[in-house]
Amino acid sequence: MNALERLSKRLGMVLTHEKGDWWLSTSKNPLLKLPGDGQVLPAAFRGVTVKEALHRLGGRDLGSRLCTGISEEQLGRMTASIPEQMSPRALAQYLRGAN
């Protein structure tokens, strides 16, 4: 495991363990700034746009970075039902891709 962590650092990557799975991400990935554990309250994200939900998760600066690369159409969509028991990072991933 130590060898994998050292290799990932040399490559500018970060190795994370989330819900039993290992992930290798670029160290500049804004999702890594959000906690990968804990749970969000789904009710706090219902009835807002994807853009607003991402800003609620990350604050103004991180929220803006999380919105990068997403179409204005998708950012303007209202959030659908939010799954229960999601970490802040998992919810951001969900909003960025599945909503």
Structural domain boundaries of the chain?
29-97
| pLDDT 10s digits, 66-76 | 999 999 999 99
- 8 A C-beta contact, residue 50 and residue 79: yes
- What average pLDDT does the structure give for the chain? 89
Residue 9, both tokens: 């650092």
Element (H, E) at 19: none
Q: Per the confidence metrics, is the pTM higher than 0.85? A: no
Per-residue pLDDT at 95 exceeds 70: yes
> Would you call 23 helix, strand, or coil by DSSP?
strand
What is the rounded distance in angstroms from the CA atom of residue 57 to the CA atom of residue 63? 7
Q: Using CA atoms, how far apart are residues 76 and 5, in angstroms rounded to an integer?
A: 38
